[in-house]
Amino acid sequence: MSLFQNRLPEVHRMLTAKEVSVSELTEESLAIIAERDKKVNAFLTLNEEGARSAARALDDKLASGAARGLLFGLPAGIKDNIVTKGLRTTCASQFLNNFQPIYNATVASKLQQADAVTIGKLNMDEFAMGGSNENSSFGPVRNPWDLERVPGGSSGGSAAAVAAGEVFFSLGSDTGGSIRQPASYCGVVGLKPTYGLVSRYGLVAFASSLDQIGPLTRNVEDSAYVLQAIAGYDAQDSTSAKVEIPDYLSSLTGDVSGLRIAVPKEYLGAGVDASVRETVLSALKVLEGMGAVWEEVSLPHTEYAVAAYYLLSSSEASSNLARFDGVRYGVRVDEGGGLLDLYQNSRSRGFGPEVKRRIMLGTYALSSGYYDAYYLKAQKVRTLIKQDFDDIFKKYDVVIGPTAPTTAFKLGSQTEDPLTMYLNDILTIPVSLAGIPAVSVPCGFAEGMPVGLQIIGKEFDESTILRVAHAFEQNTDHHKQRPQL
């Protein structure tokens, strides 16, 4: 059995007892990647030399008896839109295929401070734009449960690497569901923290008012450990929130008696696969059996969320990606013309089709004569969606529903229909627009593929959603089931 099947406290016990070393954990990770990643394609860049060097240093620290970090010795993967000093960061785009950052993102530094071992950088949809990981310019990631299906996106590599047992945990980024949806498709735990809880400094921006970094893990307890390590105020991030960071691990009590659950009728209605709906209703019965109560409610502006999200996120992408011009960094396509030719050639060849589509949509929405009709109206809808959640949380502790309307779909089945692809995020987007936290936890299977249960909480109340997710997990065994590669 892989060492990565163990919970984090058990791995730390084994390290302390000298039953295993950090170097052995690292070598196991690299060996599994060598064996399995030819099928999965989760990793874009491996940090073999750096990981082995870090492991040796941590083994020396263990031998000396020095204080150890919260994630001591654990092999981790990092989504490839989070910059890592000296380690190639591509955003899965040809535009950045030669980009070597000169500094670390705050979360990358925090992983080092917590004594984790960075194994490498993980595949994703180009510039985090996509819901299937088929938009990567380095080839699609495949779902470990069924290699003919997508892992979800944009953090598909982050979810697949954990599901395949290649790393102990990973970091992803979530703009409209890009942690939670692939977590659902791949049968792992994916947490999107409240906007501002985790620093975005060093995260290559897609939509700055929506992007948030979070962990993907095998179980809820490990998710709480990783969040504890990466959360906190960062003066280098102007959107970072100055809030007190609680002890997330102490919230994992297993007790949900008296918990008030809201179940939006919009999350179980048309468009949600019948088998997914039944799996989620079965999960609610488990929580009910533990003393929780649930009622059906309405989030009336949910139907406008997808349209508002794609207008807002594409507008922000249009602005954020203007810096990629072939001059400052990244690939330059200079064929001897003028400056405008340089811009056009570099951007035309550097960006993939989905990135170009969203840049054009965003530029149009921000243009003179259309700003009020599209961008401004979308911002007003965003406010209404946030108010919907605020009203619900006056009476209920959490909101629960499916993470995605279906299980993972076949590779190539939706690439010609971007609107259908966009609708796969209909249940995760409202949470992102509201800036509140949510976690996807495995709750069963439909036709052999994992189904995720989305637990949504009040802003900066990660403790409650982790408590509920952990209690549910402790009374089921869905998280223990692993794909056979």
Contact call for residues 169 and 398 (beta carbons, < 8 A): no
What is the dihedral sign for C-alpha 414, 419, 420, 425? positive
Q: Quick check: is 314 catalytic? A: no
CA distance 131 to 419: 11
User: Strand runs (DSSP E) across 218-335, as ranges?
Assistant: 260-264, 293-297
Q: Name the DSSP letter for residue 173.
A: E
Q: For the residues of 315-383, what is the DSSP string, one character each?
A: HHHHHHGGG-SSSSSS-----S--HHHHHHHHHHHHS-HHHHHHHHHHHHHHSTTTTIIIIIHHHHHHH
Active site residue 79: yes
With tokens 């089945």, the residue in question is 413
Taking the C-alpha atoms of residue 32 and residue 51, their distance in angstroms, rounded to an integer, is 15
Catalytic residue among 29, 79, 318, 432: 79
Closest CA to 28 of 65, 61, 1: 1
Tokens representing residue 402 in the block: 């499916």
Of 173, 178, 199, 313, the catalytic one is 178
| Distance from C-alpha of 220 to C-alpha of 280, rounded to nearest angstrom | 18
Radius of gyration of the chain (CA): 21
| Sign of the Cα pseudo-torsion (180, 448, 466, 423, in order) | positive
What does residue 387 show for φ and ψ, rounded to 5 degrees? -65, -35
Residues ≥6 apart with Cβ < 8 Å to 484: none
CB 465 within 8 A of CB 259: no
Nearest to 157 by CA among 136, 176, 177: 136
Buried b (16+ CB within 10 A) or exposed e, 38-74: eebbbbbbbbeebbbebbeebbebbeeeeebbbbbbb
**Known catalytic residue at 463:** no
Q: Which of 109, 137, 154, 199 is catalytic?
A: 154
Please enumerate in sequence order all residues whose Cβ is within 8 A of that of 404, keeping only pairs 6 or more positions apart, or say none: 152, 177, 181, 184, 185, 276, 424, 425, 427, 428, 452
Task: List active site positions.
Answer: 79, 154, 178
